[in-house]
Structure 1
Amino acid sequence: MTKLLFTNKATDKNTYVDVGKYTHGAGVGAKSRHVRSVLKRKATLTSYPEEIIFKLSQFGYEVYATRKDAFGGHSVAISEDGQIIALGARIDEGVDSSGNPINNGAVFAFEYRTPSAAEWSGTASNNPIIGKGDDDGKSYGAAGAAFKKYWVQLGNRYDMQGTVSSTGVGSEFGAVIDMTDDGSMIAVGAPRSHILDASGVQQQNAGKVYYYKYNTTTKRWDKQSTIIEGDGAGEYEGYDIKLTGDGDTIIVGAVLAENPSFITTGRVRVYTYRQVSAAEWSGAAANPTIQKGDDAGSFYSSVVNKKFWVQKGADLFGTLNSQFGFSVALTNDGNTIIIGAPNHDSSTGKTDIGRVVIYNWSGATWVQKAEIEENGLYKEINLGREVAINHDGSIIAVTGYLEQPGVTPTFSTPAPKTFPAEGQGAVIMYEYKRHNGQRSNMQIIYGDNKGDNFGSAISFSKNNQVVIGAPQWWSSGSVGSGYAKIYKKEDGVWQEPDEIDGVSSDDSFGHAVAISGRGNRVIIGARFRDYTDPLGISSGTQQGSATVYNVVPLIKKNKP
């Protein structure tokens, strides 16, 4: 309710007063008008503004990985307009050159459109996956598919898949993914990939990040020749990644990498995707690290028109065994980054309390802007298991998996509430003033119940809506079904307009979430979802799936 109070001391007569421009409501649908009111000597103009709320409604049928135990929906991504999506299946069995299944992981991208008759029947050359839902098993005509839209796979079925090492270890290709705003490029983390050292010896779990671009002519996903690789065995490069909207900057975490003193701390690197000079290529320039991939050893003349991942700034390291880089995020311009280290120990000896660090790019180096660290009164909070940042860096979100009920926490900026029950989870929302970097507000959002793991996944839209997943929530006997909630800030408080719950026990719905840049759609992964494969390959144990929802703004009129 808004009240405008005016007093006319000059006369007791009724007076026409131009109140000025008045904004009716807030956010989407807010209206402005000029108010001209008849006032007596003392009068009150009272207005009850409309409240904008959001509802989530399913958009298209759910999509899924192709084989059992694939964990499809372990990671998800969505384009800015919500028309293109992707899901990662880190254990999906792809096929080798002979058609034999290999446990390597895969990523599947989809666009929302009407399929052709050949695509529907499985006779198209690329044999795309289609989220048919209730129309599964129907003919093209019986389903009316020529007049409907579905999530139809972009590219060939296994354009994007990982590899298996000589020891049979899968790469976990698709454990994390991200997508550009237009959906034309996808980055894929494969943290258990192997590399070959200078002697040709295989280095297990070094980790890689792959980059794919959609070819509109061939209708295929083309793997770019430059691949970001870890330096040695056991680094898990690509454990977490994030892209800017234009796809030209990426941040990469390697949770078990060593610092220059050979201490395992975790490491983060930031790269820009650009052409390089002859001096940079030859090493004569100011020593930038270039991921040359398949072009290593080539002459500059053969790569002059190509783009490569070139490191931006120096390596960033955490503390001993802190798993620095477990979670990473960056702003849309790539100049502010946030890094989580959930296993950081306090100076008072408390283990795994966690730590989050924020850096700004100075033009030449990464400069620490802020640090969030619990003060050591309790242990195993794992602050920083997940982090997120909005497009301009003014809002960050940090997850803590909280394990001691009834303990009042004291952060660098004190939290006034009591910690929830073990494993409930909480997301701490921090706001910063852009001109000076000072914190201006903080709010803790809690999960519903013990064991929810609320905050396992977080995603911001460009209009500052945020979706948060809690994959272990259970209700009415559905253990581990999970949920996801969408939040919007109203009247200075993060409020929950709507929630979507998982369908069945152990679905792990909410393990991965993403919201489109426009805030009009969200995609939610359920990595353990059982689904019947329409191709008849398997009966679908833990294939995993992802579902898209429309974010529908509704107007709720407030009454006095």
Structure 2
Amino acid sequence: MFMTQSRYRLRATTLSVLSMLPLSACLDNGGPGWIIPGHTVSTNAGAGGSISPANAAVEHGSRTSFNITPDEGYSITQVTGCGGLLSGTTYTSGAIVTDCTVNANFSISSHTITAKVGVGGKVSPLSTTINHGNSTSFTILPETGYNIDSVTGCDGSLSGTTYTTGPVTKECAITANFVINNHTVSTITGPGGSINPPERSIQHGNSTSFTVTPDSGYDIDSVTGCDGSLSGTTYTTGPVTEECTVTANFVIKNHTVTASAGTGGSITPTSISVAHGATLSFTLNPDSGYNINNVTGCNGSLSGTTYTTAVITSDCAISTAFIRKPPATAATLSLTFIPTKNFRFSWTDVADATYYRLLENPDGSSGYAQVGGNIPAGIQNINHNVPLHARINGRYILQSCNEGGCTDSPTLSVSGTLTESIGYFKASNTGASDQFGYAVALSGDGDTLAVGAPAEDSNTTGVNNGSNNSAANSGAVYIFARSSNGWSQQAFIKASNTGAGDRFGYAVDLSDDGNILAVGAYREDSNTSGINGVETNNSATDSGAVYLFTRNDSGWTQQTYVKASNAGTNDNFGYTVVLSGDGNTLAVGAPAEDSATTGVNGDENNDSAADSGAVYLFTYSGGNWSQQAYIKANNSGAGDQFGSAIDLSKDGNTLAAGALEEDSNATGINGDENNNSRSNSGAVYLFTRGGNSWNQQTYIKANNAGAGDRFGHAVALSGDGRTLAVGAWGENSAAYGINGDGSNNSAADSGAVYLFNGNSGNWQQQAYLKAGNSNAGDRFGWSISLSSNGDTLAVGARLEDSNATGINGDEADNSMSGAGAAFLFTRRNGGWNQQSYIKASNTGAGDQFGRAISLSDNADTLAVTGYREDGNATGVNGDAANDTRTNSGAVYLY
């Protein structure tokens, strides 16, 4: 009997009987003829998974493995049988000794879903676990004022506030975001205004503001809605938690119009309330004797007695003033002529006039303007100081006025020759033959007057000393000044070295302000030279000197004694003097100076050209005077008397110098200076200063130059130096007036004046003037003076013969030989016309009125002298009729 090991079994085998061997020698373990027995391991998989392989044949004692695979969403719960062990998804049996079964059990998976929540809401639940493949829902809950913005995750979808996931196959999360609500705040406006902006979108819980603007003429009545409040025109809502509306209502304004009236009437109504945009009318009721003066306020207009406002857009007030009616009748105006240069207007007060206005039309054609201020009632006359020569055709009206207006008097026309208004000036120590008025000068404002009397005889020196007449023809100067009380003599001035025959006062000039006086004494005899030399050595006969005086609050004092740098016997230094406007440049003529040099600052010492003449320029700086230039004509010739007439522009930079006996036959501007075939025809030279240097600019002759004409005997420059007047008293033409025929020389020594215009050296003759009553021997042009602007020219004709007096008298009666006259010309639009014919107030034969002449800067004051007038009066406006002081002299103011 054969026995097998436990793991084997016997195969079919043929045994040999012939050779019986021991069985142990034939069989061994595993040897041929034996087999190991096998077992079957079966599997059983529960729901939710599988086992692979499904079955396995396993040799006895061996082990085997199976893959346990859960379905998706399942997991292995338990694997049992066959003594095995599970590792991961591999199940390995124990040693198989018998058939057995591996059993696998599976369980379904669960997944956790979490919720992430943003600001502004909640999610419920915040977490949940569900079986694989299932869906679940969450409730999404916005807080007040928020809305759901988005919910995402787990493949879900939102319906209302429910978020349902898709089938869940793994852990996942949902995210809920919320957004704060925006609410629209809309507006509604009633008529009469607006709200801005019309609408706003605002986050929940916030406030916003609107500007509430009434239309013109409206006010805010009410603003409501959205729990807001109004401050001014700003409406601020409360916290907005829902859509809401702001409603603004407006109401038309009412305005108060008040009305008031001053003395003399009333206005009705006095106060009224009116809707914006309306107009109102008021009635004005003047009392008897009153007129409506003015109504103002509320932009209204007056028609008759009805005042209608403009459209009322705010509270406003109307103010009405009434005024007394103008006087029913005007005062009657009368005119009296009184010296000096005064028109005295008189009238009698009229009822209802509270003040008066004097109106003047100065020339009868230029129109009326008020003279001064209003004249209170009770004052029944005024003195009006006038330029007499410019008022001969004056017209005057007196207005009788009150607050209601004025009533005009009839026009009063100036008539007559104004003789009674002419100022008559005499020396304080009038003496026969003193020749008071031989020279004259006015300050720029016309309120200071200097008068030279070169034949005055007192032996005194200095200012305001005695009157011992022991120094014949020593000379004196008299200063007169105008104050609110009129004219009076201010000073009597003598040289510091008074000497008989010095002729102090032969020439005078004043600075513009009247505070500097230059006086020439052309026959003074000292032999000194320069500034403030020794005055007492009288060994240079008639060499001449100039004295400078200054005025301050204490009066007049001599400042400087001036001599020529080459003072010589008979040079007549001081024959002419002139000051610049500021008084800091002085020009002195010495027409009998004898040097033969020419031009500027030449050799002063060669005295081989007798009476050729020279001009000296001095300047004041740093408290001292010094000589700046010594000037001769470029064609200086013996006997020319260069410097016999001189003038300066206001700034002192232009000098005009006449040489009345220059002999060239040239005519016009810058002609041939060297042909001396026209004896004593005369010439004028213009020099200009640049820095401290002087140069001759222009050589001027008359366009009808004739022998003996003495062109250049008198010269005058305008303030700017661009207008030049030249007198030629020996000119002989028989022409009359302006630009007549200058070629008919049948009126010997009738005289003429020539006007030139120039700029930067380009000079030309503008006019040729003759007297309106030109006659032989009149010597028209002996003296001349220009206003500062050059538009007014005064001309003296010292031997004119008419017996007229005053202004614009009879020119034709030549029965008063040598009485003299003056003429006033004016320039308008480049043309010259004679304005006035001027005579003394006490015309006398031989008085030689017009010997010297001077105009104030504005030509409102004119001084004319009659140096041989015979009156015995003294001072200002004395008796002009007593002619017992022969040739004492007088000055007349116009």
CA contact (8 A) 1:530 1:540 kept: yes
| Structure 1 residue 519, shift from structure 2 partner | 1.9
Q: Which residue of 1 aligns with 2:482?
A: 214
Select 1:333's aligned residue among 578, 582, 594: 582
CA contact (8 A) 2:633 2:685 kept: no
Residues 1:252 and 2:252 aligned together: no
| Structure 1 residue 238, shift from structure 2 partner | 0.6
CA–CA separation in structure 2 for the residues paired with 1:378 and 1:196 = 38
Q: After superposition, where does 1:447-462 map in structure 2 within 5 Å?
A: 448-462=705-719
CA contact (8 A) 1:325 1:339 kept: yes
Q: Which residue of 1 aligns with 2:456?
A: 193
CA–CA separation in structure 2 for the residues paired with 1:506 and 1:209 = 30
**Deviation per CA, 1:517-537, whole angstroms, max 9, x where unpaired?**
12221111111111224599x
Q: Which residue of 1 aligns with 2:242?
A: none
Paired letter, 1:485: Y
Paired letter, 1:452: D
Q: Which residue of 2 aligns with 1:237?
A: 504
| Structure 1 residue 417, shift from structure 2 partner | 5.3
Aligned pair in 2 of structure 1 residues 182, 320: CA closer, same or farther (>3 Å)? same
- Residue 205 of structure 1 aligns to a residue in which SS? coil
| Structure 1 residue 542, shift from structure 2 partner | 1.8
- Residue 397 of structure 1 aligns to a residue in which SS? strand
Select 1:487's aligned residue among 756, 760, 767: 756
Q: Which residue of 1 aligns with 2:594?
A: 345
Residues 1:369 and 2:645 aligned together: no
| Structure 1 residue 162, shift from structure 2 partner | 6.8
- Residue 233 of structure 1 aligns to a residue in which SS? coil
Paired letter, 1:176: A
Paired letter, 1:269: Y
| Structure 1 residue 149, shift from structure 2 partner | 7.5
Paired letter, 2:794: I
Q: Which residue of 1 aligns with 2:681?
A: 424
| Structure 1 residue 153, shift from structure 2 partner | 6.2
Paired letter, 1:178: A
CA contact (8 A) 2:545 2:561 kept: no
Aligned pair in 2 of structure 1 residues 362, 215: CA closer, same or farther (>3 Å)? closer
CA contact (8 A) 2:417 2:805 kept: no
Q: After superposition, where does 1:40-439 map in structure 2 within 5 Å?
A: 111=341, 146-148=412-414, 152=418, 158-161=424-427, 163=429, 165=431, 169-196=432-459, 200=468, 202-217=470-485, 219=486, 221-229=487-495, 231-260=498-527, 261-262=537-538, 263-264=540-541, 265-275=543-553, 306-312=554-560, 318-346=567-595, 347=606, 349-373=608-632, 378-402=637-661, 404-405=663-664, 418-419=675-676, 421-433=678-690, 435-439=691-695
CA–CA separation in structure 2 for the residues paired with 1:427 and 1:132 = 30
Q: Which residue of 2 aligns with 1:548?
A: 824
CA contact (8 A) 1:131 1:150 kept: no
User: TM-score scaled by structure 2?
Assistant: 0.40
Unaligned runs of 5+ in 1: 1-107, 119-124, 136-143, 276-305, 408-412, 556-560
CA contact (8 A) 2:664 2:672 kept: no
**Deviation per CA, 1:428-475, whole angstroms, max 9, x where unpaired?**
111221x24242733333462111111111111113212111111112
Select 2:768's aligned residue among 485, 489, 499: 499
Q: Which residue of 2 aligns with 1:513?
A: 784
CA–CA separation in structure 2 for the residues paired with 1:525 and 1:147 = 28
CA contact (8 A) 2:640 2:680 kept: no
Q: Which has the larger radius of gyration?
A: 2
| Structure 1 residue 147, shift from structure 2 partner | 1.8
CA contact (8 A) 2:686 2:696 kept: no
CA contact (8 A) 2:509 2:577 kept: yes
Moved more, 306-315 or 146-155: 146-155
Residues 1:478 and 2:747 aligned together: yes
- Residue 455 of structure 1 aligns to a residue in which SS? strand
CA contact (8 A) 2:578 2:588 kept: yes
| Structure 1 residue 117, shift from structure 2 partner | 9.3
Residues 1:469 and 2:727 aligned together: yes
CA contact (8 A) 1:402 1:425 kept: yes
Aligned pair in 2 of structure 1 residues 374, 554: CA closer, same or farther (>3 Å)? closer
CA contact (8 A) 2:477 2:494 kept: yes
Paired letter, 2:795: I
CA–CA separation in structure 1 for the residues paired with 2:830 and 2:671 = 35
CA contact (8 A) 2:663 2:681 kept: no
| Structure 1 residue 479, shift from structure 2 partner | 1.5
CA–CA separation in structure 2 for the residues paired with 1:171 and 1:309 = 23
CA–CA separation in structure 1 for the residues paired with 2:578 and 2:518 = 7
- Residue 225 of structure 1 aligns to a residue in which SS? strand
CA–CA separation in structure 1 for the residues paired with 2:504 and 2:561 = 17
Aligned pair in 2 of structure 1 residues 450, 393: CA closer, same or farther (>3 Å)? same
CA–CA separation in structure 2 for the residues paired with 1:381 and 1:244 = 29
CA–CA separation in structure 1 for the residues paired with 2:747 and 2:776 = 4
Paired letter, 1:364: G
- Residue 196 of structure 1 aligns to a residue in which SS? coil
CA–CA separation in structure 2 for the residues paired with 1:469 and 1:415 = 21
CA–CA separation in structure 1 for the residues paired with 2:583 and 2:414 = 39
| Structure 1 residue 242, shift from structure 2 partner | 0.9
User: TM-score scaled by structure 1?
Assistant: 0.62
Paired letter, 2:559: Q
- Residue 693 of structure 2 aligns to a residue in which SS? coil
CA–CA separation in structure 2 for the residues paired with 1:154 and 1:316 = 45
Q: Percent identity?
A: 24
Paired letter, 2:414: K
Q: Which residue of 1 aligns with 2:697?
A: 441
CA–CA separation in structure 2 for the residues paired with 1:438 and 1:274 = 32
CA contact (8 A) 1:427 1:454 kept: yes
Aligned pair in 2 of structure 1 residues 383, 274: CA closer, same or farther (>3 Å)? same
CA contact (8 A) 2:718 2:786 kept: yes
| Structure 1 residue 385, shift from structure 2 partner | 0.8
Paired letter, 2:821: S
Please, what is the CA RMSD of the aligned residues?
A: 3.8
| Structure 1 residue 160, shift from structure 2 partner | 2.9
CA–CA separation in structure 2 for the residues paired with 1:149 and 1:181 = 29
Aligned pair in 2 of structure 1 residues 110, 386: CA closer, same or farther (>3 Å)? farther
| Structure 1 residue 313, shift from structure 2 partner | 6.0
CA contact (8 A) 1:171 1:191 kept: yes
Aligned residues: 390
More strand by share: 2
Aligned pair in 2 of structure 1 residues 196, 270: CA closer, same or farther (>3 Å)? closer
**Deviation per CA, 1:306-332, whole angstroms, max 9, x where unpaired?**
312331465557322100111111111
Unaligned runs of 5+ in 2: 1-337, 348-382, 394-409, 528-536, 596-605, 735-745, 832-894
CA–CA separation in structure 2 for the residues paired with 1:504 and 1:378 = 32
Paired letter, 1:370: A
